[in-house]
Amino acid sequence: MSSSELSDRSRQLLARLVREHIASGEPVASKALARQSGLGLSSATVRNALAQLEAEGYVHQPHTSAGRVPTDRGYRVFVDLLLEGRRPSRPTAGVEHQLREQTERSPLLDDLLANVSHLVARAARHVGFALSGSPVPVLQRIEFVALGGSRVLVVVVARGNQVTQKVVDAGEDVLPDDLVRAANYLNSEFSGLPLLDVREAVLTRLRHERTLYDQLLTRALRLARSTLEELPQPHAFHVEGVASLMAGPTQEGVSLATLRALVEMMEEKGRLVHLLNAYIEGPGLIVVIGKEHAAPDLRPFSLVASTVVDGTTVRTVGVIGPMRMHYSRAITLVDGTTQAVSRVLRDAH
């Protein structure tokens, strides 16, 4: 059964259970839920409803005699209910004031983003991050133009008619027809993918021995690599706040090994940026919960992020924390802070 097929009563009961669990960190008993739900239901009715929710995967019992806690799926129903009834956040006055003071001290965007990640991490008591940059360019096509002898003009065209050109020495004389076939191979394999993904795929294939059996394909990959390896890093990115998670891993149900994996991911900022970009499809708010993450390292956590687009620039503010986070507060915080960043930068220019 999908969450849309749950009855209103079941959704409200589940939402109350999630709120109680977020507040206490303990399994929620049916008797307490009947008393606090405000739905006028008996303990027996609530117990039956929870048994049904458990059968459908929205809650589970950590122990036979314990109450119930929400699963990833239960948290998703709760967050969807929050998002259905929320109004757009306004820029947080206190945060906006601090950011304006920051820009007066230093107009550098990098300094502003570092301050934003610090403010969000401190306010949420989770990992906070701030990301700014152009949308990740997507490959439209690659063209190779013979310039005579071994010299080749490599033209990389990204969507939106972003063009990168570079003259490359192929190391041997090349024929125009071979270059056409080489470009066709690359376009059939990689067209429509982000350029950073194309670069990684090209490097991976060049390291793979069997590629070397086909001279034409190897030449195509080497020509592409010579241009793609010089792609600029398109994002400014700051992340902070692991100490807040390290302070209470047992209470949050997150193991130390899992926290270490998250710390390693944060140290590999390029990988984390890549994962975040997979979620950011445009302006607005996103919430990714538990198993909804593509990366196994992030599945014990939830992510709340808000994105605005100013012209060709994308800015995102967000938090990463345990699934038992205060979602309403996190949503208001990241959305309001993102709006504040946009206002401050707009006024500064």
For 280-319, how does the pLDDT look when each residue is reduced to its tens digit (9 = 90+)?
Answer: 777 889 999 999 998 888 888 999 999 987 766 778 999 9
Residues 69-111 have pLDDT tens digits of: 999 999 999 999 999 877 766 656 677 778 788 777 777 777 8
Over 50: is that where the pLDDT of 249 sits? no
Mean pLDDT of 238-262: 69
Of 207 and 115, the structure prediction assigns the larger pLDDT to 115
Tokens for 89, please give them.
Answer: 């956040």
Listed range (50-59, 241-250, 258-267) with the worst mean pLDDT: 241-250
Strands 127-133 and 139-148: what pairing? unpaired
Give me the chain's average pLDDT, please. 82
Residues 7-51 have pLDDT tens digits of: 888 999 999 999 999 998 899 988 888 887 677 788 888 889 999
* pLDDT recorded at residue 14: 94
Burial of 347 (0-12, 13-18, 19+ CB in 10 A): exposed
Q: Measured between alpha carbons, how far is 30 from 47 in angstroms, rounded to an integer?
A: 5
pTM of the model: 0.71
Mean pLDDT of 238-258: 67
Burial of 31 (0-12, 13-18, 19+ CB in 10 A): middle
Residues 156-181 have pLDDT tens digits of: 888 767 788 888 888 888 888 889 98
The answer to whether 322 touches 251, Cβ cutoff 8 Å, is no
* pLDDT recorded at residue 302: 94
Q: What is the DSSP letter of 138?
A: B
Mean pLDDT of 229-242: 72
